[in-house]
Amino acid sequence: MEKGNNRVTGKYYSKFKSWESEREYRLILSLGGDMAIQLPIERIKRLLLGCNISDANICGLLSIIKDDKHLREIKVSKVETKKNSLQTKDLDLAIMLEKYNDLIRLF
């Protein structure tokens, strides 16, 4: 973090120029150790999966989403690479839950 101007820099806060129009907020808060941060669930509007997310991480997220009425209604998208650029693809949560159903039970 640069001192004096309240601006945080670094790899977690930078974006590709092609994504500059996205209205996105990135929140990274280090409390030290393994402390969890409580965020009101109704504040979550969209779940954006990175282009390299593993099936294990998708299953972990779906295991949380499947039992929460509000989370089942949020928009889910995945980043994909296309012709040297990044694009988002909207996903159908019901189809994802069905596809990963057997693996979700392991979480």
- The mean pLDDT value for 79-88 works out to 86
Residue 92 pLDDT > 80:
yes
Portion of the chain with pLDDT greater than 90, in percent = 7
Residue 73 pLDDT > 80:
yes
The residue ranking higher by pLDDT, 84 or 29, is 84
Residue 90 pLDDT > 90:
yes
- The mean pLDDT value for 60-69 works out to 85
Task: Please state, in angstroms and rounded to a whole number, the distance separating the CA atoms of residues 63 and 107.
Answer: 7
Task: Please state, in angstroms and rounded to a whole number, the distance separating the CA atoms of residues 65 and 38.
Answer: 16
Residue 6 pLDDT > 50:
no
